[in-house]
Amino acid sequence: MSGTAEPSRRAGGSRLEMYLLFLPTSLWLILFIAIPTVMFFIYSFWTVKDEFLVKGFSLLNYLRFFTTGVYPELLGRTLVLALEVSGITFAMGYPLALFISRKSGRAKSILYMLVVIPLLTSYIVRIYAMRLILGSNGLINNLLIILGLIREPLPFLLFNRFAIFLTLSVILAPFMVMPIFTSLEKIPRSYIEASRDLGASDFETFWRIVFPLTLPGVIAGFMFIFILTLGDFLTPILVGGTQGMTFGKIIQMNYGIAYDWPFGSALSVILLILSLAIILIASRFGALREI
Amino acid sequence: MKELLRLERLSKRFGAVAAVNSVSLSVLDGEFLTILGPSGSGKTTILRMIAGFEQPTGGRILLDGEDILDTPVNRRPFNTVFQDYALFPHMSVFQNIGYGLKVRHLPRVEIRDRVEEALASVDLAGYAARYPDQLSGGQRQRVALARALILRPRILLLDEPLGALDLALRKRMQITLKEIQERVRITFIHVTHDQEEALSISDRIAIISLGDLQQVAEPKNVYFRPANMFVARFMGENNLIGGRLSARSGDLVRVQTPMGTLHSCSAGLGQADAEGRQVSLVVRPENIVLLSEEDSGAVNALEAEVVREVFIGSEDKLIVRPRGCPGMEIMVKIHSDTAVGARSGQRVRIGWRAENCWLIPEAEAACP
C-alpha cells in the first residue's frame, strides 16, 4: 500500500515545486511584458483631444496612420533601411562566420568571443563609439587628414541616414554572425567529406551543401536585424541628425515630444504586428531553431 | 588477382600519438578486404588516409603502382560509405544518389536513368522522392551504398557502415553487402570492430591493434591460425595454454605444461623455435571433444572438472577446470543435441587432436 501511495505523493510535491520554481519568472513576464503590452494596446484605441486623454474606443489613430501618407512612407523607408542593414551585415558576416567556424580550438573561441563581446557593453555606448569614429573630429576624418587625403573633415559621415545605416550595420552585426555561425557549427564534418568524396570541388560543396544548410541561420540573422532596426530609435537620435528619421524614432517622438501616447501606441501596435509577422515567416524556414 | 592498391609503411601521428604505425598492406583487385580492430586501433584512420581525408605523416599509398598522396579527395577514384551515412538532409533520395553525377555535370537524362537503376539495385525503387529523415536506418544505409556505387569507383571504402543497425538488420545487411560486392566486382575495403562480421563477409582480414598491423589472412586462417597472442585473444574464446617446447620431431611437437605433456602439430612455429622455447598452445573451443572411457588412445586427454554449462542456442558452452591447474578455465563447445547436462563439479575427460591446435611462439602464463 505504502509502495503505491508514496510515488504519487512525491509527484504531487514536485508539481507544486515546479510551479513555485516558475513563479518568479512568470511574475516578471506578466509584470514587465504582458501588462505593458496590453496597456499600450488599450491606449492605441484612446485619443488625445486638446491635450487631454479621451478614454473611449476609437479607431482614429489607425485611420490617421493609414490616411497620412508620411507614416506608411516612413515605415517603408525604415523597411528599406532594415533590408540594407541586414544585406550588408549578411555580406560581411557570412564570410566572417565561415572563417571563424573553420578555425579550431582556441583560435575559434577567441574569435567568436570578439564577435560577441560588444554585446556585453551598453548599446548606447556602442552608438557613441560610432559617433567618435565618424564625427568631424573622429577617427576616420583625422586619419584622412593626417594622411593628407582631405583638408576639411568629410561632412557626410555623421548626422544623416548614411550614419544610421553605418552605425546599425556595425552594432547589429553580431546578430547576423551568431546564428550563421551556430548553423555552420551544426553541419557534421561527414557531410562536407561526403560531398568532396563524391567528386564536388570546395566551391560546389559550399554552394550545394554548406550554404543551403545554413539558410535557417541566415534567415534568423535577417529576422533579428529587421526587428531591431524597425524598432530602433536611439541610433537615429544620436547619429541621425535632423534628416535621419525612422519608424522607431517617430514612435519615440509621439511619446516623448508630442505627448500623444495613444497615437504612439497605435504605431507600436503596428510595429509589433509587423515584427510578429517577420518572426512567423522566419520560423517557417526553421530559423528559430538556430537561436 | 592482381594488386590494386598498396600501402607502404603508412604512418599517421596526431601530435605525440601514433595512430597508425608503418602499416604495409596490399589490396587485390576485386577482393573484399576487412580491416578489423578494436576501437582506437587506427583502422578508421587508415581508411581516411586512403580516401584522402587525412594526409599520412609517413609512407605512401600506391594505386596501380602510382603514388596518389597528392591527388585530392574529389579526384581519387574511391567512394566512401560513412559510419553515419552522411546523407544530405536537404536533398531527396534521388538528389542524394545523383549528387556525384550532378557535380560531374552529366546530362539530366543520364542522371535520371542511372539513379533509377541504382535505386532498383538496392531495392529502393519508389523511394526517390523521400527525404533521409523519412527513411529507416537500413534504408539510409542502402541509399548511402547506392550513392557511392553509382560512380563506379575503383574501390569502395566502408567505415563501419553496419555499426548503427540492430543485430537482425546487421546480419541481413552483411549478406546484402557481400551479394552486392559479388555482383559489382568492385574492391571493397571495409572497416569494422565486429569479428563475426569480418569473418562472415571478407575475402581477407587485416587485423590491426594500436596502429600496428597484426595479421593479414583469409578468415579461416585468422580464426584457426592466429599469428600472435593479440589475434588469438581478439578473435574470441580461444583457449590459450602456456608451456615449453620439450621435443620437436618433424610436424609434431610436444609441449610441457602443468597439465602434463600435450601434443601439437608444429604449425605456427618458425624454424628457429627450438626445444625449451616458451610457447602458447591455441585450441578453439569447438575443436575440443568430451572423451568417453573407451577413448583412451587420444593424444591429448585431460582430466577436468565442470565449472558450469551455459546454453547459448545451437551450442552449449562447457567451462571446465583441468586437473593440475586450478586457476585455469578451458572452454568447450558442444552441440546442444549431445549436451551431457553436466553438473558443476562433475568429472569429465576432454581431448583434442594434435592437428587441431596451433602454436604461438609467445609466452602465456601457464597457470593463471
What pLDDT digit, counting tens, does each position of B182-203 carry? 999 999 999 999 999 999 999 9
Q: Per-residue DSSP letters for A200-262?
A: --HHHHIIIIIHHHHHHHHHHHHHHHHHHHHH--HHHHHH-TTT---HHHHHHHHHHTS--HH
pTM: 0.85
User: Which of A17-31, B252-266, B307-321: highest mean pLDDT?
Assistant: A17-31
A-B interface: how many C-beta pairs under 8 angstroms? 58
Q: Report chain A's mean pLDDT, rounded to a whole number.
A: 89
Return the bridge partners of B261, or none.
Answer: B256
**Residue A4: is its pLDDT beyond 50?**
no
Instruction: Tell me the residue ranges of DSSP E strands in chain A.
Output: 47-49, 52-54
Task: Give pLDDT tens digits for A156-175.
Answer: 888 888 999 999 999 999 99
Q: Which residue has the cell 587628414?
A: A145
Q: Report the distance separating Cα B250 and Cα B234, nearest Å.
A: 30
Among A193, A208, A213, beta carbon nearest to B86? A193
- Evaluated on CA atoms B324, B325, B331, B337, the torsion sign reads positive
Q: Which of B53, B88, B147 sits opposite A209 (nearest CB)?
A: B88
Q: Which of B90, B96, B131 best probes binding to A when mutated, by most A CB atoms within 10 angstroms? A: B90
**pLDDT higher than threshold 50 for residue A1:** no
| Helix, strand, coil percent content, chain B, rounded in steps of 5 | 25, 35, 40
What distances in angstroms separate CA A13 from CA A259, B80, B318, B353, one per listed residue?
51, 54, 54, 70
CA–CA gap between residue B360 and residue B240 (Å, rounded): 9
Q: Which of B73, B88, B151 sits opposite A196 (nearest CB)?
A: B73
CA dihedral sign of residues A105, B159, B206, A199: negative
pLDDT surpassing 80 at residue B269: no
Q: Is it true that B3-232 and B237-360 share their CATH fold?
A: no
Most A CBs within 10 Å, among B50, B55, B71, B73, to test the A interface: B73
Q: Which residues of B268-285 are buried (b: 16+ CB within 10 A; e: fewer)?
A: bbeeebeeebebbbbbbb
Residues facing B32 on adjacent strands: B188
Q: Which positions in chain A touch B88 (Cβ < 8 Å)?
A: 191, 194-195, 209
Residue in chain A lying closest to B98 (CA): A198
- CATH code linked to domain B3-232: 3.40.50.300
Identify the bridge partners of residue B245 per DSSP, sorted by sequence position.
B255
Residues 6 or more apart in contact with residue A81 via CB below 8 angstroms: A161, A164, A165, A168, A229, A246
Chain A residues with CB-CB distance to B147 below 8 A: 198
- The C-alpha atoms of residue B254 and residue B354 are separated, in whole angstroms, by 10
Q: pLDDT tens, A81-125?
A: 999 999 999 999 999 999 999 999 899 999 999 999 999 999 899
Q: Where are the domains of chain B?
A: 3-232, 237-360
Distance CA B2, CA B335 (A): 41
Give the residue on B whose Cα is nearest the Cα of A191: B86
Instruction: Looking at the structure, give the CATH architecture of the domain made up of residues B237-360.
Output: Beta Barrel (2.40)
CA B227 to chain centre: 14
Cβ contacts of B180 within 8 Å, gap of 6 or more? B121, B122, B145, B149
Predicted confidence (pLDDT) per residue in B9-27, tens digit: 999 999 989 999 999 999 9
- The CATH class for the domain spanning A2-25+69-290 reads mainly alpha
Question: Which residues in chain B have Cβ-Cβ distances shorter than 8 Å to A209?
Answer: 88
Chain B residue with CA closest to A199: the answer is: B74
Q: Which three cell numbers stand for residue B300?
A: 591429448
Q: Which of A188, A190, A198 sits opposite B103 (nearest CB)?
A: A198
d(CA B191, CA B32): 11
pLDDT confidence tier of residue A6, bands split at 50, 70 and 90 = very low
pLDDT band at B265 (very low <50, low <70, confident <90, very high): confident
B89 touches chain A (CB under 8 A): yes
B14 — contact with chain A (CB < 8 Å)? no
User: Shortest Cα distance from A207 to chain B (angstroms)?
Assistant: 11
